[in-house]
Structure 1
Amino acid sequence: MPTTPISEIARMIDHALLHPTLTDEELRAGCELALTYHVASVCIKPYAISLASQLLAGSDVAVGTVIGFPHGSATTSLKVVETLQACRDGATEIDMVINIGKVLSRDWAYVTDEIRAVYEICQLNGPLLKVIFENDFLPDDTSKIRLCEICTEIGVGFVKTSTGFGFVKESDGNYNSLGATEPDLQLMLTHVGPNTKVKASGGIRTLDEVLRVKAMGVTRVGTSSTQTILTEAYQRFGLVAPTPPSLRTSHIETKEY
């Protein structure tokens, strides 16, 4: 596929299919959408890897999945087993949630050992590893910087801002999720090494938001608003956006996070 401004944007996108109520029909439609727009990957729940691998076979769309999702609280051994099973089922990208409680406890040895254990499984089996910090739960920059350093030292492919499901209780009793903020992205870009990249995830829903983080140096974006973003991109460049087959006559609506 020739490189164009639209294809550059599409190849940044990990199309998220992670909503808890997502059906098999919606998964199929999401994979068709990913194929239509030639995005970088789909990011799906582990049980769906085999189906997505079949749907995307022979395409340029990678099959990504999540490990320890969304709270990161599984034991290291379970995360390792989950990663190994994902590799066997056909995943080529792994988005792993750190143990947030251990980060807040400053147990850096545990955090390092856990990330390294999952990384080594990925190295043996081929998938690219992305490590999710869940920045909404980390109140100070020191923890985020240390995580960037650990991930750089280990050699992971990406550090990632959020799961999209990290809601923090505010003083008024309401729950809020900031997701990928520009200050956090800049901090992460500053403190990772040259071989570790940054993925913005959580709250990225418009073309302008994608373009802003792209200009900062972010190279992947996790979003469930893929069709909205890329339809807007086609319109901005005066082109007609393709329509995924299942969406031409379907009632299915995108479930965003």
Structure 2
Amino acid sequence: MELEKLVKLFDHTYLKPYATEADMEKLCEEAKTYGFAMVAVNSVQTKRCKELLKGTDVHVGAAISFPLGQTTIETKVFETKDAIANGADEIDYVINITELKEGNYAYIKEEMHRIVAACREAGVIVKVIFENCFLTDEEKRVLCRIALEEKPDYIKTSTGFGTGGATLEDVKLMKSMVGDAVKVKAAGGIRDLAACLAMVEAGAERIGTSASIKITEEFKNGISAGA
């Protein structure tokens, strides 16, 4: 893999509840310097990050109903539209895990349909966060089947705030279900180059991590050592 392709895998992430103005400035400056695909932030930080990244090709990604997903569809749609109005180029929303566990698949489908529709209308990228650590394999398959109908841009393994993050098994399962119709994003616990490349090999086309710089530098050092 070339360096230019590697850095465009990364959603450079800072989702701490105590994020400061200085943290956002640092995050955006890092993303500009390295040329990452996106900064992933809580939706309240969207407007500021859009200003900080003005004139660059780095996207601003807003996390919606994060990290629990336990808000109504109407609330999620409102937050999505508000984030877009504040400059979000991408939306990562968390599904309602309770409704999935209850077998209320029509609810999950409506939620996905309405959020995807809001993003399509605005021309922004949309990712659906499964939070796989709380799900059975069959529940993951159900979500994949709904995603094949509703066509978000990405389905995503995790928030990084649950009891577990991305696993190779989950990425492979998700990719096997959706093929090329929907992309897969791996997030949560990806801290080094080997783990990153393994996720890509398994089918991930975007990586959510706060270790983007560490992984990139590891890649650069490997090139230097090889040379």
TM-score, structure 1 normalization: 0.85
Number of residue equivalences: 225
| Inter-partner Cα distance in structure 2 for 1:182 and 1:215 | 9
- Which of 39, 43, 46 aligns to 2:40? It is 43
Is 2:171–2:203's contact at 8 Å kept on the other side of the alignment?
Answer: no
Is 1:152–1:193's contact at 8 Å kept on the other side of the alignment?
Answer: no
- Which of 197, 212, 228 aligns to 2:198? It is 212
Which amino acid in the other structure matches residue 224 of structure 2? G
| Inter-partner Cα distance in structure 2 for 1:106 and 1:58 | 45
Which amino acid in the other structure matches residue 7 of structure 1? E
Residue 119 of structure 2 aligns to a residue whose secondary structure is helix
| Inter-partner Cα distance in structure 2 for 1:8 and 1:59 | 17
Moved over 3 A (4+): none
Cα deviation, residue 99, structure 1: 0.1
- Which of 122, 126, 129 aligns to 1:125? It is 122
Is 1:10–1:37's contact at 8 Å kept on the other side of the alignment?
Answer: yes
Query: What is the CA deviation profile of residues 28-53 of structure 1, one whole-angstrom value per residue up to 9, with x for unaligned ones?
Result: 10110011110110011111111110
Which amino acid in the other structure matches residue 155 of structure 1? K
Is 1:198–1:220's contact at 8 Å kept on the other side of the alignment?
Answer: yes
- Which of 56, 60, 64 aligns to 1:63? It is 60
Query: What is the CA deviation profile of residues 59-88 of structure 1, one whole-angstrom value per residue up to 9, with x for unaligned ones?
Result: 111110111100000000000100010110
Cα deviation, residue 217, structure 1: 2.1
Gaps in structure 2 of 5+ consecutive residues: none
1:187 is matched with which residue?
A: 173
Identity of aligned residues (%): 40
Gaps in structure 1 of 5+ consecutive residues: 168-176, 240-257
Matched, 1:163 2:159: yes
Give the structure with the higher percent helix.
2
Q: Computing the radius of gyration over CA atoms, which structure comes out larger, 1 or 2? A: 1
Map 1:53-92 onto structure 2 (within 5 A): 53-92=50-89
Matched, 1:226 2:222: no
- Which of 144, 148, 152 aligns to 1:148? It is 144
| Inter-partner Cα distance in structure 1 for 2:157 and 2:73 | 21
| Inter-partner Cα distance in structure 2 for 1:211 and 1:186 | 13
Which amino acid in the other structure matches residue 152 of structure 1? L
Cα deviation, residue 24, structure 1: 1.1
Cα deviation, residue 193, structure 1: 4.2
TM-score, structure 2 normalization: 0.97
RMSD: 1.1
